[in-house]
Amino acid sequence: MSKPPLRHVRSTSQVPPQKSKVTGARRRIMLWLAFIVCFTGWAGYTFYNQSVQIADKNAKLEQANQINSDTEQEMTELKSEVERLQDPEYIGQLARKKYGMFMPGETPIYPVDE
C-alpha cells in the first residue's frame, strides 16, 4: 500500500479577509483623485495664462483702433482742405494772408502800431 501524496491546506488565519479588494479600490480612487487634481491645476493655469494674453491683445487692439480713428479724422480734414484748395477764392485768401499778395487794383491797408 502506498501512501497518498500530502496536500497542503491553507488555514483561514493566513489570508486576510477581503483586505486586498478594499486596498485596490482605495488605490484606484487615490490615482483618480491625483489625476483630477493635476488636470484641474493644468486647466486653471492654462485659463489664467490665456486670460492674460487676451487682456494684452485687447489693449493692443484698443490702441490700434485709437490710431485708426485718429488717422481717419486726419484724412477727413486733409480731404476737406483739398476741396477748399480747389476754390480760387480760398486760394486768393491764402495768398493775401500768408504771402501779402493782392489782386491788381486793390489797395493794401496795413495796421499802424502806436
At residue 109, does pLDDT exceed 80? no
Please give the mean pLDDT across all residues of the chain. Answer: 87
pLDDT for the residue numbered 23: 87
The model's pLDDT over 16-28, given as tens digits with 9 standing for 90+, comes to 556 677 888 999 9
Which residues are CB-neighbours of 92 under 8 A, at least 6 positions away? 103
pTM of the shown model: 0.52
- Residue 113 pLDDT: 80
CA–CA separation, 70 vs 73, rounded Å?
A: 5
Q: What is the pLDDT of residues 63-80, one digit of tens each?
A: 999 999 999 999 999 999
pLDDT at 16: 54
User: What is the identity of the amino acid at 65?
Assistant: N
DSSP class per residue in 33-65: HHHHHHHHHHHHHHHHHHHHHHHHHHHHHHHHH
